[in-house]
Structure 1
Amino acid sequence: MKENILETLKNLNFTEYEAKAYLTLLEDSPLTGYAVAKNSGVPRSKIYEVLDSLTLRGDILISPGNTAQYIPVPAKELIKNRRIKAEENFERAEKSLAEFERSTNDRENIWNIMGRNEILEKVKDCIGLANKRILLEVWKEEFEELESELRQAAKRGVNVTIIAYGEIISDFANVYLHYMGDKITEEYGGRWLVMSGDDSEVVAGIVSLDNDSRAAWSRHVGLVMPITEVMIHDLYIMEMMEEHREVLEESFGKNLINLRRKFSIHPDFKKHYMK
């Protein structure tokens, strides 16, 4: 019978020596380390290593003193603790494997999101998953709805950098006020939102059309890389405008209007994405 119990304990992640020591203490305790070795057959050279391992895992308890003595956690409690730990491990495995599977699939897909509220909810999800950096190109209206999630991300140590259209003030983010501000809204005929999380996923789309607003969300590197890099280049331009605005506007017109006109395909020099 004892051999069967030893095998059962091994199935509960006990080594053979740990199982023998625990069963010895169930039979008779408290015992010194010397007594456990003598009664269990565990070599004396190994017994304290074995007892330390059982103590750290919470399977036995130690009574300190001039000569330490050991008692076992009752068998019923041991099984209960193992069951709880196993359930925690299963839950953690289920969650992490599902996330890994989803992440693997998402790397090859581009998802369409319809509706302003739905877009903002997806952005909130992405903010919650970010660990290192969030780049966000946003108007004040949408920033106000995302501010709480962004603040929580900053508290977690995430670097939050915002390219702001309109007056956005924040005590937790690096805010770059776009040099064009509201004039961009007029030129483009609406507001968009672009978010890059950890350089690994992006949400980008139009958010000023209420239920007809639409955006793309993806972890596909073919979108993540260029969208993230375009945002970084916007930051380059704003840094340069901050330091050398007078020189740049002398070459390219106020707010770089001549550059925007140069690369427009429409006679009115406005954008016509939203028709």
Structure 2
Amino acid sequence: MKENIFDILKNLNFTEYEAKAYLTLLEEAPLTGYAVAKNSGVPRSKIYEVLDSLAMRGDILVSPGNTPQYTPVPAKELIKNRRIKAEKNFELAEKSLAEFESSANDRENIWNIMGRNEILDKVKACISKATKRILLEVWKEEFEELESELRQAANRGVNVTVIAYGEIVSDFANVYLHYMGDEITEEYGGRWIVISGDDSEVVAGIVSLGEDSRAAWTMHVGLVMPITEVMIHDLYLMEIMEKHRELLEESFGKNLVHLRRKFSIYPDFKKHYVK
């Protein structure tokens, strides 16, 4: 029977000497270190090292004095303490390993997402994870479906900045109305969505094709950085247009149409990403 108890205590991270000392104290306490060594069979040269280890772990208590005496924490309390500590360790391990696994698996990959609803679900997941900043380029139709999650993010202190195509009004986000939303919709033949969460992950794709909508999600820095910076440069341009629109349109035409035509490769000046 006692051998089984030794094995059980070893499974609770007791060494052989610690198990012998603890069981001896359970049978009779308080005891001096000398008495614990004598009754347990732990060598006298090791007993105080063993008792100090048990005391530091909270498995026994010490009554200081010229001749310290030792008493065990009751078995039920010991098991309770071990269970609480184990559960905390499991919770910490679960969280840490999940975060490590996620970052290790995802940071070098680019994932394809098909279907408008599936894309918006991934965007919502990105919003829910953000802790510092969300940059979102979006049309009104999709904004309305994301508004609840964006508001929750803002309420927990996340800076939400929206580049809006169409009349988007918000009391929780910094909204920049794109100066040529209608023209872009016409030129590109559809709506897209781009989100950057904490400058660490992006979702970007076309959302106006129903089940044929497609997007990419990635934490790959080679894409996260340039996509995030393009959105920031869009914000620069909108600030500049707000203050110097008349001067810029004098040089580049209404809504900078001459620039758009200059850098188009199609005779109709439209974009042909969506075939």
User: Under TM normalisation by the shorter chain, which class is it?
Assistant: 0.7 to 0.9
Q: Which whole-Å CA distance do the structure 2 matches of 1:145 and 1:180 have between them?
A: 22
Is the CA contact (8 Å cut-off) linking 1:168 and 1:175 kept in structure 2? Answer: yes
Amino acid at match of 2:124: K
Is the CA contact (8 Å cut-off) linking 1:203 and 1:217 kept in structure 2? Answer: yes
SS in 2 for 1:267: coil
Is 1:84 the counterpart of 2:66 in the alignment? no
Residue in structure 1 matched with residue 102 of structure 2 by the alignment? 102
Residue in structure 2 matched with residue 117 of structure 1 by the alignment? 117
SS in 1 for 2:228: helix
SS in 2 for 1:273: coil
- How high is the TM-score relative to the length of structure 2? 0.76
Q: Which whole-Å CA distance do the structure 1 matches of 2:135 and 2:252 have between them?
A: 27
Is the CA contact (8 Å cut-off) linking 1:200 and 1:224 kept in structure 2? Answer: yes
1:187-226 equivalences under 5 Å are: 187-226=187-226
SS in 1 for 2:147: helix
Amino acid at match of 1:115: G
- Rg larger in structure: 2
Is the CA contact (8 Å cut-off) linking 1:25 and 1:36 kept in structure 2? Answer: no
Q: Which whole-Å CA distance do the structure 1 matches of 2:26 and 2:119 have between them?
A: 60
Percentage of identical aligned residues = 81
- How high is the TM-score relative to the length of structure 1? 0.76
Amino acid at match of 1:258: H
Residue in structure 2 matched with residue 156 of structure 1 by the alignment? 156
Q: Which whole-Å CA distance do the structure 2 matches of 1:121 and 1:77 have between them?
A: 46
SS in 1 for 2:208: coil
Cα distance change, pair 23–143 in 1 and its aligned pair in 2 (3 A)? farther
Residue in structure 2 matched with residue 241 of structure 1 by the alignment? 241
Cα distance change, pair 88–54 in 1 and its aligned pair in 2 (3 A)? closer
Residue in structure 2 matched with residue 141 of structure 1 by the alignment? 141
Residue in structure 2 matched with residue 64 of structure 1 by the alignment? none
Amino acid at match of 2:163: I
SS in 2 for 1:203: strand
Amino acid at match of 1:141: E
Count of residues in Structure 1 that have an aligned counterpart in Structure 2: 256
Is 1:250 the counterpart of 2:250 in the alignment? yes
Q: Which whole-Å CA distance do the structure 1 matches of 2:153 and 2:72 have between them?
A: 45
Render the CA deviation track for 1:47-88: whole Å, top value 9, x for unaligned. Answer: 9xx99x789xxx899xxxxxxxxx986431331232133123
Q: Which runs of 5+ in 2 are unaligned?
A: 37-46, 62-70
Q: Which whole-Å CA distance do the structure 1 matches of 2:140 and 2:103 have between them?
A: 31
